[in-house]
Copies of this chain bind each other. A is one copy, B any other.
Amino acid sequence: MKKIAIGLASSIIGMSFMMAANAADPKPQDVVEYRKAVYTIIGWNFKPIVAMVKGEVPFDAAAVARHAQYVEMMSKAAPEGFTKGSGPDVVKDTDAKLEIWTNWGKFETAMTNFQQESAKLVEVAKAGDESAIKAQFGKTAETCKACHKEFRKD
């Protein structure tokens, strides 16, 4: 199997979640499937960073940066997955708590924290200092935990 090396062009995304929600009017089940996909990709990219932080595999700042960029991009894609009417009162197969929609301001803050810390992780990873990267990864992971604790069923 050949190695695939890909250079991804610069991209700037201006994202408005309500606009996207209105554009195609997806079904609640599709919204849930989408947000699960977003978090699957976040998890996929978190795992190798965790393995490096734990010392299970050799530390590679460039690899952290690459994975962190996917996490950051998905942090921007996540809000679209929480449209009104896609909660556990409508769709059964979801771990999202109703509190997301009844306490939207707090959820939005938690989401913004995640977006900001994952964006910082990309920057710190690009700079290449291992201990700084590990520290910033810790901060990013904390934003995950904080949001899950409040807004996701265990």
Contacts and interface: CB of A to CB of B under 8 A. Distances in A.
A153 interface: no
Interface stretch (A35-43, A88-96, A130-138): A35-43
Contacts of A76: 6, 8
Interface string A55-96: 001001011001101101100110110001000000000000
**Copies of this protein in the complex:** 2
Interface of A: 1-20, 22-24, 26, 30, 33-34, 36-38, 40-41, 44, 47-48, 51-52, 57, 60, 62-63, 66-67, 69-70, 72-73, 76-77, 79-80, 84, 101, 104-105, 108, 111, 115, 119, 122
Given A6-B115, A10-B11, A18 B1 contact: yes
